[in-house]
Amino acid sequence: MTELQLYAIAIVGALFAGGINTLAGNGSAITLTILTEVLGLPPNMANGTNRIGVFTQCTATSWVFYKNGKLNIADTKKYMYPIFIGAIVGAILALNVSNEQFRAVFRFMLLFMLVAVLVKPKRWLRKTDANFQPKWYVYWPLLFALGFYGGFIQMGMGVFFLIIMVLGMRLNIIEGNALKSFVIALYTVIIIGMFHYQGLIDWKLGGIMAIGQTIGGYLTARFASKSKWADQIAYYVLIVVLLLAVGKLFFG
């Protein structure tokens, strides 16, 4: 297979990953597989390189969601700080230890996510509860752990984020996705700098993947911002993503 063909596969795969990440999450399972199995990067290098596309995709989708009234930046502050701090701590750990052992635990985390998504589906299709005010001592530990996980490995971060925001903070699933994109874009800038300093980013391959991720994320965000069926589609995509991920990890 020629270098051009490899890059074409990478861009197309990244495009699908960008769309999946925007509506649900776990698109990094696709991009990390491409980076390691197709493009030949070692796991830690792939972990760092993947963040380039994550950043460009989340930046593009955040802008689309903001323009279409799905992202209220003023409301993100109380959620942003614990996630941001956790992400930096998680990235520091990722720079010093291998995340391969952590992936062994990931399959059981996926099962938990699948159960959380399937139980009482009406909770995923409701509007944002503007009157709900969670206690800081409840959401701070949850969001710190969420940020830590995203900083450490990123794969599956979007699904965890939606579970906490939709079920815990009572946001609408599309507004939860918008907030997810914005917060991840913010902390990923710092994480990219940390991985680059350690020499764990391949900018050429990361840039190629970012093309697909950004296009996929942008187009999907436009659809999600305007379609009246966006909530339902996002929910079903989330279920399919989790079923495929569980099937691959347990039976693949």
Residue pLDDT, tens place only, 42-54: 988 998 999 999 9
CA angle 21, 203, 97 (to 5 degrees): 75
Enclosing domain of residue 221: 3-251
**Amino acid (1-letter code) at residue 200:** L
Q: How far apart are the C-alpha atoms of 205 and 83, rounded to whole Å? A: 28
What's the domain count of the chain? 1
**What pLDDT shows up at residue 215?**
97
Residue that is written with structure tokens 């520091």 in the block: 92
CB-based burial label for 122 (10 Å; 0-12, 13-18, 19+): exposed
- Which residue ranges in the chain fall short of pLDDT 50? none
pTM equals 0.88
Q: How far apart are the C-alpha atoms of 144 and 164, rounded to whole Å? A: 12
Instruction: Give the list of residues 6+ apart from residue 35 with CB closer than 8 angstroms, or none.
Output: 41, 45, 46, 49, 50, 205, 209
The predicted-structure confidence for 113-168, as pLDDT tens digits, reads as follows 888 888 888 888 888 887 888 888 888 999 999 999 888 877 788 888 899 989 88
Give start and end residues of each alpha helix (H) in 1-135. 3-23, 28-33, 43-67, 77-96, 100-118
Task: Give kind and range of the element (H or E) at residue 159.
Answer: helix 157-162
